[in-house]
Structure 1
Amino acid sequence: MSDFILRLQSAVTDVVIKTHPFAEIIYWGPHLSHFSSQDAACLTRPVANGRLDVDSPVTLMAELGHGLFGAPGIEGHRQGLDASPIFTTIKVEQNEQNLTIFSEDKHAGLRLCSEIQLDSSGVLNVRHGLTNLREQPWQVDRFAVTLPVAERAREVMAFHGRWIREFQPHRLILEHDSFVLENRRGRTSHEHFPAMITGSQTFSEMQGEVWGVHLGWSGNHRLRAEVKTDGRRYLQAEALYLPGEIALAEGETLWTPNLYGSYSAQGLNGMSQQFHRYLREQIIHFPDNKPRPVHLNTWEGIYFDHDPQYIMQMADEAAQLGVERFIIDDGWFKGRNDDWAALGDWYLDEKKYPNGLMPVIEHVKSLGMEFGIWVEPEMINPDSDLYRSHPDWVLAMPGYETLTGRHQYVLNLNIPQVFDYLLERMSWLLGEHLVDYVKWDMNRELVQPGYNGKAAADAQTRQFYRLLDTLVARFPHIEFESCASGGGRIDYEVLKRSHRFWASDNNDALERNIIQRGMSYFFPPEVMGSHIGNRYCHATFRQHSITFRGLTALFGHMGLEIDPVSADQQEREGYRKYTALHKQWRDVIHHGVQWRVDMPDATTLAHGVVSQDKCQAIFLVSQLAMPDYSLMAPLRISGLEPSARYQLTLLDHPNIQITGEGGHTMRKLPEWMTTSQTVSGEWLQQAGLSLPILDPESAILIGLQRV
């Protein structure tokens, strides 16, 4: 048996696979310092009475034919035949920490290729390829990646949401049966982010074992956490296919999306740090090695009201605030005066821009800023020249009324003429103008997506990738942002061809605290768009101080979503202050190690970033509502060098009021806020730092410098 046991290893995680006669992961957990393949024999399972007379493995494909009786990893048929495949290993190739397993079911005429990679970060990457070996097509109904987890993984954490309220976490204890998360909206979605975490009960940011997975796919998907009746547990993830959507011709291969997994014995922080490192080293590729430029996006400043002279005034003011990239949002193209018309007509509105875009672009660049522009290529308004000429270009099922969303339809990217038209129009925009950045939006879900009368959601997603891949190759100097009404298309696969996510259309600082924390579990700060919005939030009409808005936006790829011309002096000073503060700390924020801090009071959120050399750190404490207790718990700061001493600095605070007459929060501040102090890294991690009592919807920022 030991000849068939292979190990993939990293400094923190090992994966052990039994390769014959079937491929099965038998261990995914902490790194083993004294591994021997012979040890695997002690995991040979007994056979329970009252069940099958043989063992039922949870293989890489989780076939029902083994007597799994749970959710299989593959379902399909050849006109009703060959519907219960079992794959037997025929060849195994290992190259360091990369393993490829080839297996077949000769009776069903199917071949499986399983690719398993364990990165040095500890992130596991798995995908399967299925090939039809026969002349008659094989209809694919389901095709998933299945990863077993330990029996102690009893608690599940997933994410729900909606527009302007993305990345909301929820938890449940899973003792029996399964928890399933499904998305059928045609894009990654605000509602069901394709990730799931399971772990020891009450796992937290700083403690407990966790196994986290993320499916890199921008379309329909299904994730499952399941407990078998024998107590074994596994996670499963797949692209979700609509009926009749996938049929493999002879010799054709279908690949699952990549499933990325992370095991951590140090709670959610350890998991996130592995994912962040993996993305930085393997997936995120910025065109230039430069600091992430501070944005100003015009959307909430002027909406569709475009006047080139006024926009150049905005650029003047933006440059004075320290902005480094200026983006013109929706409203620049022919007939686009509201969201009812003109999508698809990607020609410049000559009434608004009689001299073209170049005078504005050149003015922006003369101020030392980059220029960006908004597009939504996948969409078409019924009120557009394009729709009037080509109503048949809509992604829809014939014979049914097509539903609008935001007064628009979806263009069928599977039609070659549609693809070519969009490629030509986007190439005109990006090739004939000095564009550095594209905000690519997608404001509508897919309803009855069809091509030639058959379901085509999966094909639409793949064509979107092809269009974006072509433009990235054609214009390698341009950065692309993935925006879908905010956080509707955020995943690792689209990140391979983009450079920034718009986390949410909601710039409300209170809501953003939760949204950005949820996003931080899987994405590092430098790809998370976080803007300071107007004093009165356009999404919620809530009002926050410039301090709370500025500090909340600090820990991402920062920007402003305002009209700087109409802003009053106090607001401008705030924008300038927090832009400068972000620039001062962005090297730490965008390259350091992120830590979220467990706080006993759920109304308090604390997180920060420690530089890779542990010489600097910056931590934010946000008070979301009235605290449960009259004293704040100490802030325990992780990630510092235990033996080093650190100078504490209060970098920013909400003008904390001290009163001797009652009626407010405090009579006396913690001593470190009024007297210079240095503290050891060990003390800050184990004992912590006293915090002031904060008002609801306020925050303080703490800096640490090694001395």
Structure 2
Amino acid sequence: MIVHNGPTTSLVLEARGDRPPVWRWWGPKVDAAALPPLADVRPLTSFSLDVDQPLTVTPAFGSGWFGSPALRAHRAGRAFAHWFETRSIVATDDGIVVTLVDETARVTVVQRISVRGDGITLSASVINDGDGVLDVEWLAAGTLPLPADCTGIRSFQGRHNAEFVPQVEPMPSHGWLRENRRGLTGHAGPPGLFVMGPDAGWHGGRVHAAQLAWSGNHRLSIERDDDGVWLLQMGEAPAPGECRLAPGERYDTPDMLAVCSVAGLNGAMQGFHTAIRGRAPWPATGMPPRAVHVNSWEGFYFDHDEAALMALADRSAALGVERFVLDDGWFKGRDDDTAALGDWVTDRTKYPNGLAPLANHVVALGMTFGLWIEPEMVNPDSDLARAHPDWALQADGVPLLTSRHQLVLDLGRAEVRNYLFEAIDALLRDLPIAYLKWDHNRDLAPAGGADGRPGYHAQVVGAYAVLDRLRVAHPAVEIEACAGGGGRIDAGIAARTHRFWTSDCIDAVSRVRMQRGYLHFMPPEMMGSHVGASPAHSTGRRQGMAFRAAVALPGHFGVELDPATLTDRDAAVLGEAISRYKTLRDRLHTGRVWLGDGPDGLVWQMHGDIGDLLLSVTRIDPTIVRRPPAVTLPPLAGAGPVRVRLIDLASEDGHPPPDAPLFARMRAEGVLFDGDWLAQAGLPIPMMKAESVALFALETP
């Protein structure tokens, strides 16, 4: 047996000589020392082949395994069925590498499985050993078994301005499939899911979860086999004819990050956070404190005026902002979204002396300077498009379909990648730019490359290549991944960028759900969360400043408005929120995150580690009970004495709700509770209006 144990989970494979190794278990920790061989466990059944075909690490098509195959490939319609034999099983420092060969089809498949804690990373490669072209229709990054008692699937849908909409479905009788063909990740969030075991919830029970580290087309599937168990697969979804391997060529899948939790959804989320933090591109010195942003977009849109933006910088610095980001509209001819994408030179009408005076003014105020770019796009009305009309993705017989008046540059072309690198490199060399907001504002359609074949894969690889090259040339520059808000949030680009723009919708009520969905996959320090205007530009709803700031607090905090529009009171509340964020960000952005639901419509989340926690309890709708019920906090079971301090009750001024003496003591020296009491009986909560947040510190004395 091949066994890898994490702290609470086990991965068990059975080697079978020259036959591919088979899955025996992936789940809660087991002792596999006395496990009998699979051949002793599985009898041949009626209407079955005389040679058993169990689930292997790379199930083959056409040779007796009738479930979902890991590989679908052929040579002009032939060599479509595969009979793999094991070439080698090599133990690595953290896992195994299995090499399988089909001598007749002349195909090699390599399956890699690495283990870190209770998380695993899977990826695969297929190599064309033959003389002719090998057409690859599908290669799973990994195939994982799921226990027969799984009960449901938790995933997400979404659109622009409405990302991370949770979906909960029962396990399928036959199969479950999510396939993305947009060419980028999409507004539903990362390509991932959570599979719930019996009685699994936020804080307990078994949860299997996985996400694909890829920023393009993808396929996630769960299929029930005729033994009554499910198997999970993830991988890139090639377009027809996209993956054609010449002799000696190989295709490598993206990574599939998977975790099994015995501590419910929160344990699975924390496993993902650990995996993403391990991939994040922080410098050797570690992650710096996440600087408070101001972004010019919703305050100014395309209406750039150098003096007005300098005044914005002055007002922002006075509030305690640490980074000024100049958004869309700064480059030549960019007066609206119909023109100039691709022409990355400063508009001398708006900025007669270039961007240096504004950038230097920002730096002199003690802030760093950031700049918005959208390198992968081009407007037909641009100098670049007029000079190189063939540089846009296109397909014979399909019109050049625009979206936001723009086309997509073909990053499969080396000359396009070189142009983009040189243009951005010049900006970074000429100006004191510490931060790039890298946007991507449309789906890929049509997506034909220079050779007329599908260009989806080359587009993602090309974008990664430009990002990687820029990071080598300018390692101190931080990069934010934005795609119409949350359209490209995934573990693939998380290895190359330092922050995500969660959504273009900054309505605080909408953001409560979105940010909780985001935290299922990604850690809070990479979650762009800003205080927007009221009424919100995307929804028209009004929310108080205290509530808007409290909702933004747990992520990478920023401001998306012009402070000149604020009342003195709102400006003071915002300034206090910025100061609080700076005090708390070290605890908010390290350690673990727990989410939970309370009674009467309350939701809560905790950040940090047991003994030093920040708890926020959020109410969106008015209460329907006379007195607020306590909120149970199961993660505190066994924590011993816990001192609870009420840091703030973020709510609108005027007509304060009734209070009780306990909360006065919580605001002062704090109140001591036992961790088991908080876990079982719950934390008393003050009366809260609709759209309010109570923030607590929970510390062991």
Q: Under a length normalisation based on structure 1, what TM-score does the superposition of the two structures give?
A: 0.94
Cross-structure match for 1:653: 649
Residues 244-393 of structure 1 mapped to structure 2, 5 A cutoff: 244-286=241-283, 289=286, 290-393=288-391
- 1: CA distance, partners of 2:631 / 2:664: 14
Residue 175 of structure 1, CA deviation:
4.4
Residues 37 and 92 of structure 1: CA distance in aligned 2, closer, same or farther (over 3 Å): farther
CA drift at 1:274: 1.4
Moved more, 79-88 or 638-647: 638-647
Q: Which amino acid aligns with 1:487?
A: G
- Indicate conservation of the 8 Å contact 2:62/2:80, yes or no: no
Partner residue of 1:65 out of 62, 68, 72: 62
| 2:6 is aligned with 1:7 | no
- How far the C-alpha of 1:42 sits from its partner, in A, is 8.5
Q: Which amino acid aligns with 1:272?
A: M
The verdict on how the C-alpha distance between 1:23 and 1:600 changes in structure 2, with shifts beyond 3 A counting, is farther
Answer yes or no: is the 8 Å Cα contact 1:213–1:262 preserved in 2.
Answer: yes
Task: Give the whole-Å Cα distance in 2 for the aligned partners of 1:579 and 1:189.
Answer: 31
Number of residue pairs the alignment of both structures matches: 693
The offset of 1:206, in angstroms, is: 0.9
Q: Is the 8 A contact 1:19 1:101 kept in 2?
A: no
SS at match of 2:424: helix
> Is residue 2:106 matched to residue 1:109?
yes
| Residues 168 and 643 (structure 1), Cα distance of their counterparts in 2 relative to 1, 3 Å cut | closer
Deviates more, 1:641-650 or 1:101-110: 641-650
User: CA contact under 8 A between 2:651 and 2:691: conserved in structure 1?
Assistant: no
Pairwise mapping of residues 234-633 of structure 1 onto structure 2 (< 5 A)? 234-286=231-283, 289=286, 290-451=288-449, 452-601=451-600, 603-611=601-609, 614-627=610-623, 629-633=625-629
Alpha-carbon deviations, 1:172-223, whole Å to 9, x = none?
1124111111111100110363001112245221122110000110000110
Structure 1 counterpart of 2:72: 75
Give the AA of the match of 1:127.
S
RMSD across aligned C-alpha pairs, in angstroms?
A: 2.0
Deviates more, 1:202-211 or 1:179-188: 202-211
* CA-to-aligned-CA distance 1:324-352 (integer Å, 9 cap, x gap): 11100001100001111110111110111
1:191 aligns with 2:188: yes
Q: CA deviation at 1:398?
A: 2.5
Opposite residue 265 of structure 2, the aligned amino acid is: L
CA deviations on 1:574-601 (whole Å, 9 max, x unpaired) are 2111111111111111012111123344
48, 55, 66: which one aligns with 2:52 = 55
Instruction: Name the structure 1 match of 2:681.
Output: 687
The more displaced of 565-574 and 347-356 is 565-574
Displacement after TM superposition at 1:528 (Å):
0.5
* Aligned residues of 2:599 and 2:631 also touching (Cα < 8 A): no
Check whether the contact 2:189–2:489 (CA below 8 A) recurs between aligned residues. Answer: no
Change (3 A) 1:424 1:43: farther
Residue number in structure 1 paired with 2:672: 678
Task: Answer yes or no: is 1:701 the counterpart of 2:699.
Answer: no
Question: 1:190-209, aligned counterparts within 5 Å?
Answer: 190-191=187-188, 193-209=190-206
Per-residue deviation, 1:35 = 3.7
Give the 3 Å change call, closer, same or farther, for CA 643–557 of structure 1 in structure 2: closer
For structure 1, which segment, 559-568 or 46-55, has the greater mean C-alpha deviation from structure 2 after superposition? Answer: 46-55
Identity %: 36
Query: Which one is further off, 229-238 or 496-505?
Result: 229-238
Counterpart selection for 2:168 from 165, 171, 179: 171
Deviation at 1:681, TM superposition (A): 2.3
Distance 1:80 1:534, change over 3 A: same
- Deviation, structure 1 residue 14: 1.4
Cα deviation per residue 1:504-525 (whole Å; 9 max; x = unaligned)?
Answer: 0010111100000001011110
> Is this contact kept in 1: 2:643–2:673, CA < 8 A?
yes
Q: Using the TM superposition, name which of 352-361 and 37-46 deviates more.
A: 37-46
Output the CA distance in 2 between the equivalents of 1:461 and 1:226: 28
Q: Which amino acid aligns with 1:671?
A: L
Matches of 2:124 and 2:650, distance apart in 1 = 52
2:163 touches 2:486 (CA, 8 Å); kept in 1?
yes
Deviation of residue 539 (structure 1)? 0.7
* Matched AA of 2:671: Q
Displacement, 1:284? 4.5
Q: In structure 2, how many angstroms separate the alpha carbons of the residues matched to 1:181 and 1:64?
A: 21
Change (3 A) 1:487 1:326: same
CA deviations 1:17-72 (Å, max 9, x no partner) are 1232112221111223x441644558732222233333221222222334332322
Q: Which residue of 2 aligns with 1:215?
A: 212
Partner amino acid, structure 2, of 1:563: D
Give the stretch that moved more between structures: 281-290 or 421-430. Answer: 281-290
Higher alpha-carbon deviation: 643-652 or 444-453? 643-652
Q: Which of 138, 154, 166 is the aligned partner of 1:157?
A: 154
Q: Paired residue for 2:123, among 127, 135, 151? A: 127
Note the residue ranges of structure 1 that are not aligned, 5 or more in a row: none
Residue 319 of structure 1 and its aligned partner are, at CA, apart by: 0.9
Q: CA deviation at 1:657?
A: 8.8
Aligned residue type for 1:225 = I
Q: Would you identify which runs of 4 or more consecutive aligned residues in structure 1 move more than 6 Å?
A: 656-659
TM-score by length of 2: 0.95
State the alpha-carbon separation in 2 of the partners of residues 111 and 291 from structure 1. 46
Q: Using a 3 Å threshold, how does the CA distance of structure 1 residues 670 and 342 change in structure 2: closer, same or farther?
A: farther
Q: Offset of 1:565 from its aligned partner?
A: 2.7
1:421 counterpart SS class: helix
Amino acid aligned to 2:319: L
Paired letter, 2:203: M
Task: Report the alpha carbon displacement of residue 645 of structure 1 after superposing the two structures with TM.
Answer: 2.4
Determine the C-alpha separation between the residues in 2 that align with 1:137 and 1:396. 25
Per the alignment, residue 228 of structure 2 pairs with 231
Contact 1:182 1:192 in 2 (8 A): no
* 1:529 partner letter: G
SS at match of 2:120: strand
2:632 is equivalent to residue 636 of structure 1: yes
Residues 593-632 of structure 1: CA deviation (Å, up to 9, x unaligned): 111123344x321111133xx3321111111224455544
Letter of the structure 1 residue corresponding to residue 559 of structure 2: L
Deviating more after overlay: 448-457 vs 508-517: 448-457
TM superposition shift of 1:671: 2.7
Q: Is the 8 A contact 1:287 1:478 kept in 2?
A: no
Q: Deviations over 1:69-106 (max 9, x none)?
A: 23222112101111111321111111242211111000
C-alpha distance in structure 2 between counterparts of 1:643 and 1:57, whole Å: 45
